[in-house]
Structure 1
């Protein structure tokens, strides 16, 4: 038996291909199913079964399209309200993929009401736990609405304990939890693998009593990306395969027209390159960070997106990221140098460090804007600064005072996004491209700790 994880680091998720040398099954495939098909060809196996642990909220599934393309059975909970034909599966059902691969469904509600985990039975047991039991954490219980979070948190607690009855050596393979906003809490200690025995030792859900777990999970919940609201309906409808053909190329005139129409022109280059020179009023979301998460979180849904990059390969990478969250076709693309994208003089974005900020504050007053999330702010922040999380910035732009604004986050990635959004309004802004955890206190800036 061979298990091959397919990681999607930008969304913090994993899919899995499992085969016995002849046939294979897939768990929670993402929209770009070419990765799965390439693995099946590489290993010379035929995909006969596709399993969904739940109707996903953080990405568009490739399960329906994959099953249709290869003629596989598509296993989705019988109680999920979907609009397509599927192989209905329920708690306790066992699917014989092959004589060597037996998969048993276990109802593990909590992330959703109908969530299923799948136990691969045999001498080396494995549980594909989806958004239920994660490495050192659990899936968050609030994605179906605030009114359900307490009930789902209690379900999650009991589901984790159901899975904890599996043998200690059972390998745990979750879909979420590798930086995904679907995780209820950070996993803390970094790990690439785990077992039921390890989770019993380190996972709070298996050491706390129910009331403490529910209280701590609810208290720790922070905002999740706005695009999530569109994922469940898309997945219940049976999304088609991704179209990854190259978007059309735009010249300077078209780019100008799109900017004037209020469309989003997104510069995919690293923030240092963007700072050195970019088309005025464009937005920096580099491919080196959680590009699709923040684009999907911030953009008014349905707004056309044009991608600007050094190379066509970067556009293709961004396009792959976008189809995973349901932004199917970029309006256009432009590659090369920013001088080739506009007849206007290029804009620059001043950057600085926390040490620079400390020096400036000795001489003049500037507004400092912290764009980290609420939980990060609570863990510690600079004294006397304005806090607006990045995902709230567009709707709270009028709260920014007049004058120069210095923007910081945890590492510089989000501060560049925020600064580009602010600069597009004509404001004077400086992006702090520095690491908060190591540099703020060292620079002598006053910090309020948690």
Structure 2
């Protein structure tokens, strides 16, 4: 994604990482460039700089990231750029220690002013982009997002309230410091679990946020109360990201993993290892190897895999092509899963050591579920159990009357809690339902995956309940 030039010769290049809900940025005057919050696979950023014909002179981090491993240190090493992070984070590697008010002059017209904006973390910084001394935008990291702010509980729930108060003050500091027309370029808020609530919109300005952002429209007490009450669980792998970033991540290794034969796949499945099927859920339900887990590349595969596995467990990737394997590796290194144990490519029939390994998964719509709940006979098993694997906030907003709730990220450890009988499992769209169905099938359960949007449940005749 490329943004139009902001002024004559000054532009900001946006590098999306949609699978994690984040953005990185490259700002340039056509000669030199500043990179903010780079993801670990820095080849994308180097390619963008090469396409624009600019030299990366400065790499900046808004904070020590919790949702991905940063590529900032390696990018600075490879390009010779200065690497700026908060002085208070006291990183052990060579860096430019930054403090509130520092002015970084990249060229005579491209300048960055450091603004302390604690809240998402204690030492969080934002960076006001100046063109010839005029602030034209601000890189806000996990501070001021589109219609929301970054969550405040990632450093421990004991810090949530004080950080929420900091977040409120930081948002207002930015609004007071910058002109109404200044653009906002957040790192989080595009599906990232680092957002306090779901962000809205694809671009915004300080002026627009003054009327729609709770941090700028609510009283402090109300903002803090609303923020804390809306916080939901976040991915378990976050616990490993901060320490990796502050100690200095290693360079990325994207060499192809060892190739697994059908016999080796069968052995890994027999040991109960994580063997991840990267194909779409449509392809998965039609045919797959028994025991594999459906986490297609058409969804946030890395987020859910990193959330569900025991950290450090061996992971084997199964895809239709070497390109799928490479794409999955790129996704996984972003969250610190560096080397898959093995990989295999091909169709399930080609990867099966024995035909008995080939299985399929029954699917349904919410219309089918409504009929099953009404006792209408059909080709599928009875809906003895309706299992909802969405998040806690989704469940509280509305859920199927009488359903059992176990979030996907807890299901592997709580399958024994699923009541006896045939299980109809659903989520918000079908992606998580397919993953849950694969876990249930591996545990020997009879399962139907509802591959449908939850928004269609009520109009399909399914009775819904709101509240816990």
TM class by smaller structure: over 0.9
**Partner residue, 2:210:** 200
Question: Matched residue of 1:193: which SS?
Answer: coil
Alpha-carbon deviations, 1:9-37, whole Å to 9, x = none?
Answer: 01000000111111111000000000001
**Partner residue, 2:360:** 348
**Match status 1:155 vs 2:172:** no
**Match status 1:294 vs 2:311:** no
Give the one of 356, 360, 369 matched to 2:372: 360
**Is the contact between residue 39 and residue 72 of structure 2 (CA under 8 Å) also seen in structure 1?**
yes
Distance 1:252 1:120, change over 3 A: same
TM-fit CA distance, 1:365:
5.2
**Match status 1:180 vs 2:192:** yes
Question: Matched residue of 1:76: which SS?
Answer: strand
**Partner residue, 1:261:** 271
Alpha-carbon deviations, 1:426-445, whole Å to 9, x = none?
Answer: 1111100011112x112211
**Partner residue, 1:271:** 281
**Is the contact between residue 8 and residue 14 of structure 1 (CA under 8 Å) also seen in structure 2?**
yes
TM-score, normalization by structure 2: 0.94
**Partner residue, 1:127:** 138
Task: Work out the number of aligned pairs and report it.
Answer: 447
**Partner residue, 1:445:** 462
Alpha-carbon deviations, 1:31-58, whole Å to 9, x = none?
Answer: 0000001011111111111000000000
Give the one of 163, 167, 180 matched to 1:168: 180
Alpha-carbon distance in structure 2 between the residues aligned to 1:175 and 1:373:
23
**Partner residue, 1:14:** 23
TM-fit CA distance, 1:241:
2.1
Poorly superposed stretches of 4+, deviation over 4 Å: none
TM-fit CA distance, 1:362:
2.6
Question: Matched residue of 1:442: which SS?
Answer: helix
**Is the contact between residue 278 and residue 318 of structure 2 (CA under 8 Å) also seen in structure 1?**
yes
Alpha-carbon distance in structure 2 between the residues aligned to 1:72 and 1:321:
25
Question: Matched residue of 2:90: which SS?
Answer: coil
Give the one of 430, 433, 441 matched to 1:412: 430
Alpha-carbon distance in structure 2 between the residues aligned to 1:31 and 1:409:
30
Question: Matched residue of 1:321: which SS?
Answer: helix
Give the one of 367, 377, 382 matched to 2:400: 382
Question: Matched residue of 2:123: which SS?
Answer: coil
Alpha-carbon distance in structure 2 between the residues aligned to 1:59 and 1:281:
28
Give the one of 93, 97, 112 matched to 2:102: 93
**Partner residue, 1:369:** 387
**Match status 1:5 vs 2:14:** yes
- Pairing 1:236-251 to 2, within 5 Å after superposition: 236-251=246-261
* Long gaps (5+) in structure 2: 1-9, 376-381
Alpha-carbon distance in structure 1 between the residues aligned to 2:141 and 2:235:
19
Alpha-carbon deviations, 1:190-209, whole Å to 9, x = none?
Answer: 42211000000111110100
TM-fit CA distance, 1:124:
5.6
**Partner residue, 1:233:** 243
Alpha-carbon distance in structure 2 between the residues aligned to 1:295 and 1:10:
12
Alpha-carbon distance in structure 1 between the residues aligned to 2:408 and 2:383:
23
Alpha-carbon distance in structure 1 between the residues aligned to 2:130 and 2:48:
23
Alpha-carbon distance in structure 2 between the residues aligned to 1:13 and 1:377:
25
TM-score, normalization by structure 1: 0.98
**Partner residue, 1:311:** 321
Alpha-carbon distance in structure 1 between the residues aligned to 2:86 and 2:93:
12
Question: Matched residue of 1:431: which SS?
Answer: strand
Alpha-carbon deviations, 1:313-364, whole Å to 9, x = none?
Answer: 1111111100000000111111111111112320111111111112222325
